[in-house]
Amino acid sequence: MRISLLMVFFAIVFSLNANAMLGAKSNYKWWKDPQIAGELNLSRDQANKIEHIFSSYKKRIVQYRKQLNNSEVKLKKELRNPEAKREDVLLLIDRIESTKAAYTRTKVEMFLKIKDVLTPEQQATLHNIRIKFKPYHR
């Protein structure tokens, strides 16, 4: 029992830490980067629309990150508690997974709205830019 709880603990901690690192990159405003904006041939109107979309989602994204961090702290504390009940730990894990799903969904919704602002050519170029820089963000 104790070993399985430790395995769950480490799996969740590593996934949350990885998610937090990836989340930190999501604040990068690529549409304001002159090189990327130039490569995309992004208009000022498009950049303004993207900024508006980003701003409208930012508060929720930050809240989800905070909830995930708080849940991770609670889970660590609960797993260190020798009197921890299995049901309580599993409930915490369910909450964490639910929050992760909502967080991911929110980021994808934002991405899809931003994608709608771009032309198909710009979308393809942005995809290629992301592929080019992906090795630097691992």
Residue-level pLDDT at 133: 78
| Residues 6 or more apart in contact with residue 122 via CB below 8 angstroms | 40, 41, 42, 46
At residue 28, the pLDDT reads: 82
* pLDDT the model gives residue 81: 93
Q: What is the pLDDT of residue 137?
A: 57
Q: What is the mean pLDDT of each run of 10 residues along the chain (138 residues)?
A: 47 43 60 95 97 96 96 94 93 96 96 96 93 71
What's the confidence (pLDDT) of residue 138?
53
**The pLDDT value given to residue 13:** 44
Distance of CA 14 to the CA centre of its chain: 14
Q: Residue 136 has what pLDDT?
A: 62
User: Would you state the pLDDT for residue 115?
Assistant: 95
User: What does the domain layout of the chain look like in residue ranges?
Assistant: 2-28+43-119
pTM exceeds cut of 0.85: no
Residues 68 and 19: beta-carbon distance below 8 Å: yes
Neighbour tally for 3: CB within 10 Å: 7
Residue 86: predicted pLDDT = 94
Dist CA 126 CA 138 (whole Å): 18
| Distance (Å, whole) CA 114 – CA 128 | 16
For 121, counting Cβ atoms within 10 Å of its Cβ (0-12 exposed, 13-18 middle, 19+ buried), the class is exposed
Question: Which residue's entry shows tokens 């730990």?
Answer: 89
Question: Looking at residue 18, what is its pLDDT?
Answer: 39
